[in-house]
Amino acid sequence: MTVRRAAKYIAILGLFLAAVAAATGIVAARQYGSGAYLASLVSATMIWSVGALSLLIVALAPTPPARVNAALLGMLVRMALPMVAIAYFSKSNHPLAADGIVGLLVVHYLLGLVAETLLSVRLISPSSVKAPGTVASS
């Protein structure tokens, strides 16, 4: 059940980042040219992949307390690849660097972070968790 919800949330994150990629590609193309569309697509795909992996880590945790720990692990996963990519593209002569991928990575990361955090919280706190002080029925 939780994995199915995670798959749904991963799809939602993908649709959200696709819309962000389209909007940021249009804006970035004004400054960097048509190569900004590809840079925006690459950025959104990278952020979606780490966000999807993070959501999957949370979903595979067996209990709600373990899901909280999994969300913390997911934060490391979510930050690692974008940070490495930003460091790489900041120092390289790669064509995507000239097309503004560093700024696009930051924008996609921050917007994806908001969406993915909201989705992770929904995975962590399922409605089946009992409030403290309640007695389980037999």
Distance between CA 48 and CA 111 in Å, rounded? Answer: 11
Task: Scan for tokens 């409030």, then name that residue.
Answer: 131
Domains of the chain by residue range: 2-124
Task: Please write the tens of the pLDDT for every residue from 31-62.
Answer: 999 999 999 999 999 999 999 999 999 999 88
Helix axes 101-124, 64-91, angle to 10 degrees: 180
pLDDT, residue 63, reads 84
pLDDT, residue 127, reads 56
Distance between CA 117 and CA 120 in Å, rounded? Answer: 5
Q: Averaged over 91-108, what is the pLDDT?
A: 94
Residue 17, pLDDT > 70, answer yes
Residue 7, pLDDT > 70, answer yes
Q: Residue 2 in contact with residue 123, Cβ under 8 Å?
A: yes
Distance between CA 119 and CA 33 in Å, rounded? Answer: 34
Distance between CA 124 and CA 109 in Å, rounded? Answer: 21
Distance between CA 53 and CA 56 in Å, rounded? Answer: 5
- Mean pLDDT taken over the chain: 88
Q: Averaged over 7-29, what is the pLDDT?
A: 96
Q: Averaged over 60-87, what is the pLDDT?
A: 89
